[in-house]
């Protein structure tokens, strides 16, 4: 039994049109996604824009309605009427992509970080203040920052305030939606290191949503690749990076710029091979709607979306 | 995305051959006015771009790399520009807007970072590409111009050019919009192309296509290209020579192989260590202490990177750091690189939080 | 839009019902036997439950029957018809003045922001915001109407002119100009401010940099890129401008004694001519809703991003 189990999750958005706003169709943002995250591990969800990775994360925590499927957290169903109730759970928190807009600019750091504490825990003013100072210390910000406003901080510092808020209630699961995409590389390194330290310290579980394969590889134990609302491949870090099976995964990996200028020719050749395979063999990987097939196991840990044999 | 590739007239060797120099910048200083004082965002930058060459400029936000690009294109509104910028042997620093407008869009062009905002939302794609051709060739008939626009849309690899001609930017995906921006930039076959983070807003698979397109353009048009990015991977794949910028200055400049094999400046080395590398496993990423100082708080004397490597003794730095040519073509600012080392991780942990 | 109309009509109906008296109150002789009045009420359906009365009222309204004005002793429809034409002309001329003032001022102010020119224009807009329309109207009337005698001071046309003649048309126009100008000078300030901030905003957009990098001259950048994009929200604002105008006409028509809907409205209130009041309110309400609809339609025509497919 996994820590967080998602089964056949579907999120379909209605398309409305015409004079009476009738529903004329659906966008299948997430179309049958299943996975399990084990406690203390980092699960990476990779995809390009429009792949449904963010919607998956938002649906799991309850920011998007769920069309069908099940979400089980610590063995109990976390699905309300048609929405996940995990956002009311104090052990589940979310970190957002944009450190500039996800913090209320009119609130002091103290109030931003104290908000979850005030909502869930009955603490006196002094206790709240002390807890906030501890949290700031943990994310590496000085205690004097407590009365400052978000605009007085740099991007990396703001993202750390967001992290401090997320860990205020000592959560077990953090859903991080592209937490470092808006940051400079050196600041990105800071936030990534810090997230890893925190994981060790608090035995945190991360669902890490991202598009940068370098970051994903650095951080994640298990990785899933998403394309147009469906999984195309899922496996351990080694499965995905050393033995990619699906053409889409191969394309993604081939597209990462190689940091060695000396490998230019090799990289170009690999990319051309993958491109050639993509062009003549894409029928083997995508159905006639251009979507991925169902997942077939090719090893204990490695699942690939391939047509059923026979 | 099929491009006709002409045979190169020139072959590139390390070093500078004057006849091939397209752009020469000397001691450029671009300052912005903040509360009655001028602060230099680009501070004493000198560099050259040759024909059929991609010069990569790397740096983080606040390093002045975009300000440098805007200075070359004369796109700053209220900045003070000192020093010289010579394009094909003629000075283009502080010339009149009317004179600059004859060059901009024709001999030199720019690709912008954000494809979502760089196009006018109320004009069709066709009109927007058409405008740049019209501005520099008013004699061309409407029909010929439209033909040329469609040819350009085709050249940048957008399917169904006639249909796209009539579309508005919001009807296209980010990757397609970036192609439109590239089509605008290359419409008049510029000799100098400045690409400011051309792929930052794009997905990786689209990024590799756009980068291929830029490479083809270089071969096809013999153009000099300045490629500005914060992504070392993109630099590794694209650039012939690389300049690393920090706090408004070039701290290191070398050809791409030298720089990646033997980076010298502490900032360059720190950058390399802070990027998750897909080729090898790192347990922890290197974190550069402190933050990039804001324009007003920039140290104007001494080594600008010194405050971020406080474990290096002050005596290692020069008083007035200049670029030293360590081997032909490889320049490094300040002497601190010879004594630089990475601190012990545990020590760093205690310090990196203080900001 | 249809639900809004229904809601509006119900509200007006309820308010009308709450007013003292009914359709018979004003026209009956106090000497008539109360039983006969009661019989008459029954016959007219005035004792029916409210929803039946409402449906009767809506039905009559849709057929153009808005009831009788007890003061003028004529059908409200006829009464309103004459006044409506006057108000439409006044509104139209006001709108033209409003944009004739707003567009050049807004553009100048936005393009040369933070210069003395911009400061002058901004000062004017602040004054415009601060002065109430009815005071400004009175000042205009006093200065240009009474002191300088450039314009007539009341009515919509000089008495004795024959409808259809050139003199009649000219007289109409002459009567229109001062009230329209007074209203426009005040109403325009919000549009000037809006256009100014739109232009300042558009000036800093990335696509303006793209246009400059193409080698477009400053003039072209403004005419082709900034102006068009800044005028777009102004067009969307048009419907609200229309709504504001309705409020304005109530004051201006009263001050200039101009026989339009606004003056009719005020007169009917002071004279307790309820059937007229409800009809005028209904028409004002419909005009506001249509204004909002018009905004949406204009926007969908000029903005390709929300163009109806």
Q: What is the pLDDT of residue B331?
A: 94
- Looking at the structure of chain A, the number of domains it has is 1
Element (H, E) at A71: strand A68-73
Backbone angles phi, psi at B152, to 5 degrees: -65, -45
B121 contact C CB<8A? yes
B220 contact A CB<8A? no
Distances (CA, A) of B121 to B213, C47, C262: 25, 60, 41
Q: Which residue has the higher pLDDT, C71 or B178?
A: B178
Backbone angles phi, psi at A31, to 5 degrees: -130, 75
Per-residue model confidence as pLDDT tens digits over A90-104: 888 888 877 777 788
Q: Test C214 with B168 for CB contact under 8 angstroms.
A: no
Q: Looking at this predicted complex, what is its ipTM?
A: 0.82
State the Cα–Cα distance between residues B69 and B72, nearest whole angstrom: 5
Choose the final residue of a domain: B187, B205, B239. B187
Domain that holds residue A149: 4-228
Q: Is the pLDDT of residue A145 over 80?
A: yes
The CATH code of the domain that includes A54 is 3.40.50.300
Token pair 């890490």 in the structure block, residue: A208
Beginning with the edge strand found earlier in the chain, give each strand of the sheet holding A222-227 in spatial order.
A92-95, A173-177, A205-210, A42-47, A222-227, A230-236, A303-305, A295-297
Which of B40-44, B251-255, C241-245 bottoms out in mean pLDDT, i.e. has the lowest? C241-245
Across A48-55, average pLDDT = 87
Across B309-329, average pLDDT = 88
Q: Is the pLDDT of residue B21 over 70?
A: yes
Considering only the beta carbons, identify the residue of B112, B132, B135 that sits closest to C206: B112
Q: Is residue B17 situated within a structural domain?
A: no
Q: Best residue in B60, B207, B353, B354 to probe A by mutation, most A CBs within 10 Å? A: B353
C218 contact B CB<8A? yes
For residue B12, name the pLDDT band (cuts at 50, 70, 90): very low
Whose CA is closest to B193, among B273, B291, B112, B248? B112
Q: Is the pLDDT of residue B4 over 50?
A: no
Q: Is the pLDDT of residue A18 over 70?
A: no
What is the interface size between B and C, counted as CB pairs within 8 Å? 71
B37-50 and B53-58: which strand pairing? unpaired
Q: Is the pLDDT of residue B345 over 60?
A: no
What distance in Å separates residue C212's CA from the closest CA in chain B? 7
Q: Which residue has the higher pLDDT, B105 or C232?
A: B105
B284 contact A CB<8A? yes
Which of A179-188, B94-103, B341-350, C36-45 bottoms out in mean pLDDT, i.e. has the lowest? B341-350
- Looking at the structure of chain C, the number of domains it has is 2
Domain that holds residue B324: 253-352
Q: Best residue in C213, C218, C303, C304 to probe B by mutation, most B CBs within 10 Å? A: C213
Per the document, the length of chain B is 355
What distance in Å separates residue A218's CA from the closest CA in chain B? 6
Whose CA is closest to A300, among A236, A248, A250, A220? A236
For residue C30, name the pLDDT band (cuts at 50, 70, 90): low
Q: What is the pLDDT of residue C275?
A: 76
Q: What is the pLDDT of residue C176?
A: 85
Across B14-27, average pLDDT = 73
Q: Is the pLDDT of residue B346 over 60?
A: no
Q: What is the pLDDT of residue C33?
A: 74
The average confidence (pLDDT) of chain A is 87
- Would you list the DSSP string of B99-146? HHHHHBTTTEEEE-S-TTTSS-TTS-HHHHHHHHHHHH-TTS-HHHHH
C130 contact B CB<8A? no
Considering only the beta carbons, identify the residue of B236, B284, B355 that sits closest to A259: B236
Is C106 in the same domain as C25? no
Q: Which residue has the higher pLDDT, A85 or B237?
A: B237
Is C42 in the same domain as C119? no
Is C48 in the same domain as C95? no
For residue A86, name the pLDDT band (cuts at 50, 70, 90): confident
Q: Is residue B290 situated within a structural domain?
A: yes
Encoding tokens for residue C192?
């000037």
Per-residue model confidence as pLDDT tens digits over C98-133: 999 999 999 999 999 888 999 999 999 999 889 888
Across A141-160, average pLDDT = 82
Per-residue model confidence as pLDDT tens digits over B115-135: 888 999 989 999 999 999 999
For residue B226, name the pLDDT band (cuts at 50, 70, 90): very high
Q: What is the pLDDT of residue C23?
A: 57
For residue A309, name the pLDDT band (cuts at 50, 70, 90): low
B184 contact C CB<8A? yes
Q: Which residues of C touch B122 (CB under 8 A)?
A: 228-229, 232, 302-304
State the Cα–Cα distance between residues B69 and A301, nearest whole angstrom: 48
Q: Test A185 with B287 for CB contact under 8 angstroms.
A: no
Q: Is residue B240 situated within a structural domain?
A: no
Q: Is residue B324 situated within a structural domain?
A: yes
Neighbours of C254 (CB within 10 A): 17
Q: Is residue C75 situated within a structural domain?
A: no
Q: Which residues of C touch B118 (CB under 8 A)?
A: 206-207, 209-210
Instruction: Give the dihedral sign, CA B267/B269/B274/B279.
Output: positive
Per-residue model confidence as pLDDT tens digits over C225-270: 998 888 888 887 787 788 888 888 888 888 888 888 888 888 888 8
Q: Is the pLDDT of residue B280 over 70?
A: no
Q: What is the pLDDT of residue B347?
A: 44
Is C121 in the same domain as C46? no
Per-residue model confidence as pLDDT tens digits over B150-205: 999 988 888 889 999 999 998 888 888 988 999 999 899 899 999 998 888 778 88
For residue B213, name the pLDDT band (cuts at 50, 70, 90): confident
Q: Which residues of B touch A192 (CB under 8 A)?
A: 276, 285
B102 contact C CB<8A? yes
Domain that holds residue C165: 84-306
Q: Is the pLDDT of residue A20 over 90?
A: no
The average confidence (pLDDT) of chain C is 82
Q: What is the pLDDT of residue B17?
A: 46
B51: number of CA atoms within 13 Å, CB side? 16
Q: Is residue B105 situated within a structural domain?
A: no
The CATH code of the domain that includes C183 is 1.10.3720.10
Q: What is the pLDDT of residue A104?
A: 86
Is C168 in the same domain as C95? yes
Across C11-32, average pLDDT = 68
Q: What is the pLDDT of residue B355?
A: 37
Q: What is the pLDDT of residue C25?
A: 59
Q: What is the pLDDT of residue B263?
A: 93
Across A158-184, average pLDDT = 85
Could you write out the three-class secondary structure of C43-77? HHCCCCCHHHHHHHHHHHHHCCCCCEECCCCEEHH
Element (H, E) at A119: helix A109-120
Q: Is residue B196 situated within a structural domain?
A: no
Q: Is residue C71 situated within a structural domain?
A: no
Is C23 in the same domain as C133? no
Across C15-40, average pLDDT = 68
Q: Test B120 with C232 for CB contact under 8 angstroms.
A: no
- At CA C75, angle to CA C74 and CA C79, rounded to 5? 80
Q: Test A259 with B278 for CB contact under 8 angstroms.
A: yes
In terms of CA atoms, which chain B residue is nearest residue C304? B122
Q: What is the pLDDT of residue B14?
A: 43
Choose the final residue of a domain: B170, B187, B204. B187
Across A274-302, average pLDDT = 88
Across B10-19, average pLDDT = 45
Q: Is residue A250 situated within a structural domain?
A: no
Q: What is the pLDDT of residue C80?
A: 82
Q: Is residue C298 situated within a structural domain?
A: yes
- Looking at the structure of chain B, the number of domains it has is 2
Q: What is the pLDDT of residue C235?
A: 80
Percentage of chain A exceeding pLDDT 90? 32
Across C142-160, average pLDDT = 79
Q: Which residues of C touch B105 (CB under 8 A)?
A: 213-216
C303 contact B CB<8A? yes
Across C188-212, average pLDDT = 91
Across C64-80, average pLDDT = 76
Q: Test B101 with C216 for CB contact under 8 angstroms.
A: yes
DSSP-H helix ranges across A168-300: 185-202, 213-219, 237-242, 247-255, 264-281
Q: What is the pLDDT of residue A236?
A: 94
Q: Is residue B215 situated within a structural domain?
A: no
Q: Is residue A290 situated within a structural domain?
A: no
Q: Which residue has the higher pLDDT, B260 or A143?
A: B260
What distance in Å separates residue B1's CA from the closest CA in chain C? 24
């Amino acid at each position: 039994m996994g820590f967080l189990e998602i089964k056949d999750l579907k999120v379909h958005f209605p398309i409305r049109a015409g004079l009476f706003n009738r529903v004329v169709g659906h966008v299948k943002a997430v179309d049958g996604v299943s996975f399990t995250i084990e406690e203390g591990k980092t699960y990476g969800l990779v995809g390009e824009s429009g792949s449904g990775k963010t919607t998956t994360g938002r649906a799991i925590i309850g920011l998007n309605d769920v069309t069908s499927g099940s979400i089980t957290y610590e063995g109990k169903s976390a699905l309300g009427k048609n929405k996940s109730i995990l956002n009311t759970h104090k052990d589940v928190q979310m970190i957002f992509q944009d450190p500039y807009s996800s913090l209320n600019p009119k609130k002091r750091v103290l109030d931003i970080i104290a908000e979850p504490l005030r909502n869930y825990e009955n603490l006196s003013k002094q206790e709240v203040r002390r807890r906030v100072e501890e949290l700031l210390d943990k994310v590496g910000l000085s205690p004097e920052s407590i009365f400052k406003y978000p605009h007085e901080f740099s991007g990396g510092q703001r993202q750390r305030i967001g992290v401090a808020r997320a860990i205020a209630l000592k959560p077990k699961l953090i859903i991080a939606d592209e937490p470092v995409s808006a940051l400079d590389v050196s600041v990105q390194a800071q936030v990534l290191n810090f997230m890893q330290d925190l994981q060790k310290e608090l035995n945190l579980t991360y669902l890490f949503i991202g598009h940068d394969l370098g970051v994903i590889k650095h951080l994640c134990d298990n990785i899933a690749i998403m394309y147009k609302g469906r999984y195309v491949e899922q496996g351990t870090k080694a499965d995905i990076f050393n033995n990619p099976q699906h053409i889409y995964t191969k394309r993604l990996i081939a597209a990462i710029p190689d940091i060695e200028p000396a490998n230019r020719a090799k990289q170009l050749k690999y990319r051309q091979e993958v491109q050639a395979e993509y062009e003549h063999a894409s029928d083997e990987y995508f159905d006639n709607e251009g979507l991925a097939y169902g997942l077939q196991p090719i090893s204990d840990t490695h699942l690939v979306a391939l047509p059923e044999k026979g | 995305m099929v491009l006709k590739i002409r045979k190169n007239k020139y072959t590139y060797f390390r070093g500078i051959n004057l006849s091939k120099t397209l752009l020469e910048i000397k001691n450029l200083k671009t300052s912005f006015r903040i509360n009655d004082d001028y602060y230099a965002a680009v501070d004493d930058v000198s560099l050259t771009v040759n024909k059929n060459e991609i010069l990569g400029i790397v740096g983080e936000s606040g390093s002045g790399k975009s300000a440098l690009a805007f200075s070359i294109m004369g796109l700053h509104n209220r900045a003070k520009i000192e020093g010289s910028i010579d394009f094909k042997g003629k000075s283009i620093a502080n010339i009149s807007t009317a004179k600059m407008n004859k060059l901009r869009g024709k001999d030199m062009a720019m690709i912008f970072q954000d494809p979502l905002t760089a196009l006018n939302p109320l004009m069709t794609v066709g009109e927007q590409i058409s405008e740049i051709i019209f501005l520099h060739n008013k004699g061309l008939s409407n029909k010929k111009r439209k033909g040329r626009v469609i040819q350009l849309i085709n050249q940048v690899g957008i399917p169904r050019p006639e249909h796209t001609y009539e579309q508005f930017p919001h009807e296209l995906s980010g990757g397609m919009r970036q192609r439109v921006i590239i089509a605008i930039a290359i419409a008049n076959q510029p000799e100098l192309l400045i690409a400011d983070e051309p792929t930052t807003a794009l997905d990786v698979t689209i990024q590799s296509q756009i980068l291929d397109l830029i490479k083809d353009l270089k071969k096809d048009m013999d153009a000099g290209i300045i490629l500005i990015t914060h992504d070392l991977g993109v630099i590794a794949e694209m650039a012939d020579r690389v300049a690393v910028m920090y706090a408004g200055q070039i701290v290191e400049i070398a050809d791409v192989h030298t720089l990646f094999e033997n980076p010298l400046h502490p900032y360059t080395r720190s950058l390399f260590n802070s990027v998750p590398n897909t080729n090898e496993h790192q347990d922890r990423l290197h974190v550069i202490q402190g933050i990039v100082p804001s324009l007003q708080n920039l140290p104007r004397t001494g080594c600008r990177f010194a405050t971020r490597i406080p474990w290096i003794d002050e005596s290692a730095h020069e008083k007035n750091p200049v670029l030293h040519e360590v081997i032909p073509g490889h320049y490094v600012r300040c002497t601190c690189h010879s004594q630089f080392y990475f601190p012990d991780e545990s020590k760093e942990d205690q310090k990196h939080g203080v900001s | 839009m249809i639900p809004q109309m229904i809601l509006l009509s119900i509200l007006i109906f309820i308010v009308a019902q709450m007013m003292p008296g009914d359709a018979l109150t004003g026209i009956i002789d106090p000497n008539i036997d109360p039983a006969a009045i009661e019989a008459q009420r029954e016959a007219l359906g005035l004792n029916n439950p409210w929803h039946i009365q409402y449906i009767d009222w809506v039905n009559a309204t849709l057929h153009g029957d808005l009831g009788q004005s007890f003061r003028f002793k004529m059908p409200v429809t006829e009464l309103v018809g004459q006044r409506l034409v006057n108000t439409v002309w006044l509104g139209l001329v006001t709108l033209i003045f409003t944009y004739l003032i707003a567009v050049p001022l807004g553009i100048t102010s936005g393009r040369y922001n933070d210069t003395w020119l911009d400061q002058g224009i901004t000062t004017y807009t602040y004054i415009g915001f601060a002065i109430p329309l009815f005071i400004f109207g009175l000042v205009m009337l006093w200065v240009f109407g009474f002191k300088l005698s450039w314009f007539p001071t009341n009515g919509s046309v000089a008495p004795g002119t024959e409808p259809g003649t050139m003199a009649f048309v000219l007289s109409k126009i002459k009567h229109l100009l001062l009230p329209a100008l007074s209203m426009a000078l005040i109403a325009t300030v919000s549009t000037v401010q809006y256009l100014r901030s739109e232009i300042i905003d558009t000036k800093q957009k990335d696509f303006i940099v793209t246009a400059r990098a193409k080698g477009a001259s400053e003039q072209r950048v403004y005419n082709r890129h900034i102006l068009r994009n800044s005028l777009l929200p102004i067009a969307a604002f048009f419907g609200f401008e229309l709504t504001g105008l309705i409020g304005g006409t109530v004051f201006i028509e009263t001050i200039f004694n101009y026989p339009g809907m606004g003056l009719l409205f005020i007169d009917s209130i002071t004279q307790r001519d309820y059937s007229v009041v409800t009809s005028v309110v209904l028409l004002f309400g419909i005009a506001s809703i249509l204004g909002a609809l018009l905004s949406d339609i204009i926007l969908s025509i000029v903005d390709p991003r929300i163009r109806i497919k």
